[in-house]
């Protein structure tokens, strides 16, 4: 991924954020145990995490990274502090920076434990602690804020974003219309990660990008929506909000179904939760096939309820963790094979009309027999092809598709 490939390796490479970098360096030079932590805040994708990484690299320090939900319980904090956070080693020559990323990811009231853990780490760490957050004014961070020096990361201005995109294009050997890069920066509103992701979507593997290529990006937006919807289904406790979560996604319900199915097992961990959730999905799937086969759209409401509210209610308790959601494998498979499937269906329909039966019957009853003969009898494929008014290639394609 280009966001990783072009992650800044030194502070100077971090676009914009001059003031923030200066403040951070000053804070770092002055830091002693007992001093305040640094809280880097600002909207997503503007360089908070990568600046800390660049600082550590530049100063030759180890970066010890965790996130708030990994240190929630008392025993987890102990384990974390035990990883050499509490005391500076007399032997180890390399220092450390402790990074606790995205601390506002904790749910406010539920995560009192998270805030407490962070406070302890700040107080007891023998090394400088850096925190990041999108919204430092979140109520749950009230106490933490008191122990921090606040450093703002602003939206990356369009000019700086464009420069970074230009640099990447140069390194990738891509000729890009300046208007395209400008449009990408504008669209992402100071989110450089988003702009780089967009650029990669439209430019990867190509030598040139033009304004028309921007159209592809609609698709990525849809996927951002579905990620939010999946979180809504998996994390929520109310059946109603699970249902609402998917209602604004501009995607076919059966496609949403695939997304939920693909990601369920990464989100839920307890076997009982998984069993109940799969039960709900299986029932949703029954309705799905009834809708398709009988064109009975009234069933759609049941399908959607089962796959959203049903899956959401299947868990005893939401999993407080970050899950990286994936695009359904089936979907990629379908889109890869779409052209072939269209041709296969055409051939099937041709055979069905010659044999006066349904395509389903052709598939289940005739094809296995015909393939058998095609393999065994010299010249059979040719005769069959002319009898069905098809080419031999078409028959070969059919048999390799079903092999």
Ligand X SMILES: Nc1ncnc2c1ncn2[C@@H]1O[C@H](COP(=O)(O)OP(=O)(O)O)[C@@H](O)[C@H]1O
Q: Is the Cβ–Cβ distance between 133 and 68 less than 8 Å?
A: no
**Which one, of 217, 280, 222, 267, lies nearest residue 248 by Cα?**
222
The entry of ligand X, Mg ion, none near residue 84 (CB within 5 to 8 angstroms by kind) is none
Query: How crowded is the C-beta side of 380, counted as CA atoms within 13 Å?
Result: 11
Nearest-angstrom CA–CA distance, 276 and 269: 12
Min dist CB 203 to ligand X, Å, is 15
Q: What is the per-residue binding string for ligand X in 30-59, x denoting contact by CB under 6 A?
A: --------------xxxxxxx---------
Which residues, in sequence order, are CB contacts of 266 under 8 Å at separation 6+?
323, 324, 325, 326
The entry of Mg ion, ligand X, none near residue 45 (CB within 5 to 8 angstroms by kind) is ligand X
Sign of the alpha-carbon dihedral angle for 147, 150, 151, 157: positive
Min dist CB 160 to ligand X, Å, is 7
Could you say which residues in the range 125-184 bind ligand X, by CB under 6 A? 132, 156, 164
CB atoms within 10 A of CB 198: 23
Min dist CB 104 to ligand X, Å, is 12
**Which one, of 330, 209, 197, lies nearest residue 261 by Cα?**
330
Q: For residue 83, count CB atoms less than 10 angstroms from its CB and return exposed for 0-12, middle for 13-18, buried for 19 or more.
A: exposed
Is 3 an interacting residue with respect to ligand X (CB under 6 A)? yes
Indicate the residue among 42 and 232 with the shorter CB distance to ligand X.
42
- Quickly list DSSP for 110-165: TTHHHHHHHHHHHHH-SS-EEEEES-TT-GGGHHHHHTEEEEE-PPPPHHHHHHHH
Min dist CB 42 to ligand X, Å, is 7
Indicate the residue among 7 and 222 with the shorter CB distance to Mg ion.
7
The entry of ligand X, Mg ion, none near residue 3 (CB within 5 to 8 angstroms by kind) is ligand X
Nearest-angstrom CA–CA distance, 158 and 153: 15
Q: What is the per-residue binding string for ligand X in 5-34, x denoting contact by CB under 6 A?
A: -xxx-----xxxx-----------------
The entry of Mg ion, ligand X, none near residue 54 (CB within 5 to 8 angstroms by kind) is none
Could you say which residues in the range 12-51 bind Mg ion, by CB under 5 A? 49
Indicate the residue among 224 and 275 with the shorter CB distance to ligand X.
224
The entry of ligand X, Mg ion, none near residue 283 (CB within 5 to 8 angstroms by kind) is none
Min dist CB 37 to ligand X, Å, is 16
Beta 62-67 vs 96-101: how paired, if at all? parallel
Q: What is the per-residue binding string for Mg ion in 44-63, x denoting contact by CB under 5 A?
A: -----x--------------
Question: By CB under 6 A, how many residues form the interface with ligand X?
Answer: 21
**Which one, of 364, 367, 365, 354, lies nearest residue 395 by Cα?**
367
Write out the residues near ligand X by the rule CB under 6 A: 3, 6-8, 14-17, 44-50, 132, 156, 164, 192-193, 196
Write out the residues near Mg ion by the rule CB under 5 A: 49
């Amino acid at each position: 991924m280009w966001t990783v490939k072009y992650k800044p390796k030194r502070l100077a490479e971090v676009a914009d954020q001059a003031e923030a970098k200066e403040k951070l360096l000053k804070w770092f030079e002055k830091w002693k145990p007992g001093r305040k932590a640094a809280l880097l805040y600002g909207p997503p994708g503007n360089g908070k995490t990568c600046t800390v990484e660049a600082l550590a690299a530049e100063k030759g320090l180890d970066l010890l990274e965790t996130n708030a939900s990994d240190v929630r319980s008392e025993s987890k904090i102990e384990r974390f502090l035990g990883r050499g956070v509490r005391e500076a080693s007399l032997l180890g020559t390399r220092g450390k920076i402790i990074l606790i990323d995205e601390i506002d990811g904790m749910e406010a009231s539920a995560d009192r434990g998270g805030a407490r853990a962070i406070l302890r780490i700040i107080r007891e760490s023998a090394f400088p602690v850096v925190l990041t957050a999108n919204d430092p004014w979140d109520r749950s961070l009230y106490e933490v804020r008191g122990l921090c020096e606040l450093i703002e990361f602003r939206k990356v201005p369009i000019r700086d974003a464009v420069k970074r995109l230009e640099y990447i294009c140069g390194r990738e050997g891509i000729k890009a219309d300046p208007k395209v890069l400008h449009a990408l920066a504008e669209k992402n509103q100071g989110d450089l990660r988003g702009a780089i992701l967009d650029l990669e979507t439209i430019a990867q593997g190509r030598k040139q990008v033009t304004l028309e290529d921007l159209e592809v990006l609609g698709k990525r937006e849809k996927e951002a929506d579905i990620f939010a919807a999946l979180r809504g289904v998996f994390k929520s406790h109310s059946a109603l909000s699970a249902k609402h979560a998917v209602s604004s996604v501009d995607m076919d319900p059966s496609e949403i179904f695939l997304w939920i199915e693909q990601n369920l097992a990464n989100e839920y961990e307890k076997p009982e939760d998984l069993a109940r959730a799969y039960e709900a999905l299986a029932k949703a799937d029954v309705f799905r096939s009834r809708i398709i086969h009988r064109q009975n759209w009234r069933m759609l409401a049941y399908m959607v309820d089962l796959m959203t509210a049903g899956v959401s209610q299947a868990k005893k308790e939401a999993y407080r963790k970050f899950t990286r959601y994936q695009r359904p494998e089936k979907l990629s498979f379908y889109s890869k094979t779409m052209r072939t499937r269209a041709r296969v269906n055409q051939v099937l329909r041709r055979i069905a009309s010659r044999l006066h039966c349904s395509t389903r019957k052709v598939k289940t009853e005739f094809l296995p027999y015909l393939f058998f003969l095609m393999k065994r009898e010299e010249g059979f494929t040719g005769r069959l092809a002319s009898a069905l008014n098809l080419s031999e290639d078409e028959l070969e394609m059919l048999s390799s598709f079903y092999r």
